[in-house]
Structure 1
């Protein structure tokens, strides 16, 4: 390649890997990257945010909606530090996020001389929220490290990656060789493990499948469906795995949430009563399983790309490490010549269980169930639903059906606030022809409400539902239920969100019941414009009526 700056080398490497969108906030330290982007405006679209926390969430939302790595730029020091919350969520959610940031001048790093944006051990600051990170000390390392990042996304459990480039290297010119992408090789699977798994599945009389986000990441949803239909096995989706198996399938048992403020579920008794559980692409996180007392059957098979997840929270009978799509295809091939020993009454048991689950939800959450189902009814089958950490979204995990992969996600892992709006913007950028809605609470919305300006500037048009109870509602409920109604520090004084939207030039509506909410949402989606809907629920979502009072 002819003589290029370090900034241009970054952009050329991203182009080689098919990157068509980047997010970021420009800085004095990154001027040469943006100058290179200027020459590639027809190839790479740039979305500029207002805060690095939000920009990281935009890249995450883009990645979860498209299945492609989300790339964003920050400036070293305070800009990079502001992204830590987003990187932490991406780490725990296994998102393919690449942050390219700067460091101070190469020969001043770790000298403590007071250079602009100098940070004490910036690499160390990111180690706890990345799969790996690196400081690039020479221009020749730019192609190598960017190649390694994209190779890691393809071949390993996705984790966010942070690359640092000293700001002075971005302006240096050099003759640079841009190397071709590394094509990863899938891990080999021991054929005996496939045979042993097939034998356990065919000998089981009451097996059940539980799928997580790893199925979506591996693009293995069709294989899960074939496996379930071949052996007539019911399927449960984890919260992060919603969409890996369609909720309207006859074998779907919905979402596995097992207690606490998520409500009781008949699945908590059904799972340990089965004689085989096969876990595919789920780490069975403590906070959603053991913490709620979930028991598993004695026979458990776990499939995961990350060997560290096998048997971490529950003992397993068999563990298969590798890409879920490859393993399931081998397993399906092995099962073709086999017959099952399922009980003849199992079909009826599954059908009765599905009915019991629906009745349980309607009994525990009558208003919430009706409202969330009415929202779902006005959405297209492939609409993308992006949530934040808020009670209405926790209810949606179980009460809102999802039918396709990459159409339902939120901060379900690290569970930080502020994800909903910017991640919805990223999803809409990645999938502009799809309906995208953000479901956020009033408190979480205010973490990144400034990104309404980003939506307007770049013509990004999600529908945004703000559930407004003027409180940190989940925590206020805990105070009322467990602290003798000693409410303290959980009540919020909010702005008029509709006037705020108006100041950004965004249409808005205020609604007071679920029926009105679904009608306004339908109109907003049909308009094709960004729209802010404020659902006023002063006494909480449980008391938000479906019909006009």
Structure 2
């Protein structure tokens, strides 16, 4: 074997050099005959930690969770054809959530691209498949340009609106010997930004004049690291603060002005009808969070977003401020501090009352699970990262009543796909090894990526899985019952999850009461080992009110004329 210094510099080395230049510390994926040169180059370079997943879908979710929890670029490496296809669904989730992620995938040898000759792992049109799942997908067409192409892909992933970018590298190009060049000038890991925020005086005056203002904060606040500015603006103006699911943590949820993720509640809708100004910051206004855009908003709407195309996409705005949320909010605060702003104490008191009202309404539906949410918040550290798969308990109270105090400590499935929670939690724990990471999942979705438990054990990650086992797809079961009065294809045979978890090197226990749950959660937090708590939902008992899905879900599926 040649010594490292004698090995020729290749395209794979150029790719890894750019990853290191961008500050990449970890990469997730599965080694393959169509990415092996890249893996070998990472091994030889030595500074990037490789995490071996059990499936490409899980690998992308891990890179996604890592990026969301740390704010860094997520990197995933997959194979060609079927391997890239396995990654596509999870890339859609990263795209829906606006996660900065670089997906490196192999391709068949350049001479066989598009020939249909049956080259191993060949896909009819892999680039189009990746393009449909990502912010963008590009193919390396000249090995000598690899450094520039990789850097541009990373820049695109990190540029607002952020998102996943796929880079295809044909297998024969990966081992191609090229010249080692240095790219000077534009870098991809810069921390200093030049503020270009322009604030029209009209926007400032509307804020000063408003007497019942509301801020709607989204994931863009967190992506821009603008949480402190958001809270300060809210306090200057005395606004109510509604958050999207992605915006949880943009303001501490114990703040008296934080309504939280309750936009579609009737009490909140009534409140919004009487508001005189909406300030939206980095929020997408997703259909399932706005009753498919039936939540009313004030006519006066100042929209702040880094994405030019977000303006007027779902709700019309009277003023659109396009730019980095941190810059925009800082500039607004500076201008407002120069003026006389009156925050009406009676309005702030009304906001506080609404905050308490919507929480009380939700608590009344929980039955025995009220002890679960209170126990979790009491036991877990304030900076615990809570990851929620799509399951009843996560949707009902995990996303609303479990208070989030810091940015990047709340992660959920933005695209609504089940089963991605486990690998996402693993990625989050990999990126934040000193923090507590807790996954809330249901038995139906959990089985989709169950093999990734071994990845967590292999990396000795102390992730805590709280698995709600009702032997079925609980959300769909309730929606079907509400829509049709009957159920189909939602009942599942559960394995013995405790034995399954123990076989994958997890400490595991099955519980059937709130008291048991609180006791076992304390133990899991303290042991700092991969742990699973299986919640026997039949033993715990039903919620006081069944969850029928997002508002209007059941009605949407009833027969009707178009």
TM-score by length of 2: 0.92
1:214-233 deviation per Cα after TM superposition (whole angstroms, max 9, x unaligned): 00000000110111122222
Cα shift at 1:543? 3.3
Counterparts of 2:257 and 2:501 in 1: how far apart (Å)?
43
Instruction: Note the C-alpha offset of 1:409.
Output: 0.9
C-alpha contact (below 8 Å) 2:22/2:187 kept by paired residues: no
1:408 aligns with 2:413: no
Find the aligned partners of 1:544 and 1:288 in 2 and give their Cα distance. Answer: 23
User: Which residue of structure 2 lines up, in the alignment, with residue 144 of structure 1?
Assistant: 148
Separation in 2, partners of 1:65, 1:14:
19
Cα drift, residue 544 of structure 1: 9.0
1: CA distance, partners of 2:186 / 2:262 = 38
2:376 matched to which residue of 1? 375
3-state SS of paired residue (1:448): helix
Q: 1:30 aligns with which of 35, 38, 44?
A: 35
Residue 190 of structure 1 deviates from its aligned partner by: 3.5
Cα 1:56–1:534 shift into 2, 3 Å:
same
Distance in 1 separating the partners of 2:365 and 2:317: 33
Structure 2 match to 1:355: 356
Q: Closer, same or farther in 2 for the Cα pair 1:526/1:397, shift >3 Å?
A: same
Residue 446 of structure 1 and its aligned partner are, at CA, apart by: 0.2
CA contact (8 A) 2:389 2:445 kept: yes
- What is the match of residue 261 of structure 1? none
Q: Which residue of 1 aligns with 2:211?
A: 205
State the partner residue of 1:267.
268
Aligned pair 1:39/2:72, yes or no? no
CA contact (8 A) 1:204 1:276 kept: yes
Q: 1:20 aligns with which of 12, 22, 25?
A: 25
Q: Distance in 2 between matches of 1:178 and 1:139?
A: 15
1:64 aligns with 2:65: no
Q: Give the distance between the partners of 2:63 and 2:541, measured in 1 at CA.
A: 30
Residue in 1 that maps onto 2:180: 176
d(CA) in 2 for partners of 1:541 and 1:307?
48
Asked if structure 2 preserves the Cα contact closer than 8 Å seen for 1:392 and 1:541, the reply is no
8 A contact 1:155–1:186 mirrored in 2: no
8 Å contact 1:206–1:342 — kept in the other structure? no
Greater Cα shift, 521-530 or 248-257: 248-257
Equivalent-residue separation in structure 1 for 2:288 and 2:68 (angstroms): 22
Q: Is 1:524 aligned to residue 496 of structure 2? A: no
Gaps of 5+ in 2: 546-562
Structure 2 residue corresponding to 1:121, chosen from 105, 121, 125: 125
- From 253, 256, 270, the counterpart of 1:250: 256
Q: Is the 8 A contact 1:3 1:176 kept in 2?
A: no
> Quick check: 265-274 or 427-436, which moved more?
265-274
Name the structure 2 match of 1:534.
534
Aligned ranges for residues 72-83 of structure 1 at < 5 Å? 72-83=76-87
SS of corresponding position for 2:399: helix
Equivalent pairs counted in the alignment come to 535
- 8 Å Cα contact 1:473/1:490 also seen in 2: yes
Aligned-partner SS, 1:210: strand
CA deviations 1:18-53 (Å, max 9, x no partner) are 100000100011111111122233x11110000000
Aligned to 2:168: 164
- Alpha-carbon distance between aligned partners in 1 of 2:471 and 2:266, rounded to the nearest angstrom: 29
Contact 1:103 1:166 in 2 (8 A): yes
Aligned-pair CA distance for 1:152: 2.2
Q: Aligned partners of 2:12, 2:293: CA distance in 1, in Å?
A: 50
The separation in 2 between residues aligned to 1:280 and 1:213, in whole angstroms, is: 8
The C-alpha deviation readout for 1:135-168, integer Å capped at 9, x for no partner, is 1011122111221122224432111000000001
Partner deviation per Cα, 1:422-461 (whole Å, 9 max, x = no partner): 0000000000000001111101110001011111112122
Distance in 1 (CA, whole Å) between partners of 2:248 and 2:416 is 16
Alpha-carbon deviation of 1:55?
0.4
Partners in 2 of 1:420 and 1:268 — Cα distance? 30
Q: Is the 8 A contact 2:10 2:174 kept in 1?
A: yes
Query: 8 Å contact 1:512–1:544 — kept in the other structure?
Result: no
Shift of 1:542: 4.2
Are the aligned partners of 2:16 and 2:42 in contact in 1 as well (CA < 8 Å)?
A: yes
Residue 107 (structure 1) aligned with residue 111 (structure 2): yes
Give 1:10 shift. Answer: 1.3
Decide whether aligned partners of structure 1 residues 541 and 61 sit closer, same or farther in structure 2, where only a CA change above 3 A counts: farther
Which 5+ residue runs of structure 1 have no aligned equivalent?
A: 259-263
- Partner in structure 2 of residue 240 of structure 1: 246
RMSD: 1.9
Q: In the alignment, is residue 54 of structure 1 matched against residue 55 of structure 2?
A: no
1:455-534 superposed matches below 5 A: 455-484=456-485, 486-534=486-534
**TM-score for the superposition, normalised by structure 1:** 0.94
Please list the CA deviations of residues 330-350 of structure 1 after superposition, one character each: whole Å capped at 9, or x if unmatched: 111111111224444212212
Query: Take 1:529 and 1:17, find their aligned partners in 2: how far apart are those partners?
Result: 31
SS of alignment partner, residue 133 of structure 2? coil
- How far, CA to CA, are the matches of 2:70 and 2:186 in structure 1? 21
CA contact (8 A) 1:58 1:422 kept: yes
Higher deviation after alignment, 60-69 or 501-510: 501-510
Is the CA contact (8 Å cut-off) linking 1:243 and 1:408 kept in structure 2? Answer: yes
The answer as to whether partners of 2:102 and 2:157 remain within 8 angstroms in 1 is no
1:6 — aligned with what? 11
Alignment of 1:318-357 (within 5 A): 318-357=319-358
Deviations 1:154-191 (A, max 9, x none): 43211100000000111111213131472487684444
**Are 1:315 and 2:332 counterparts?**
no
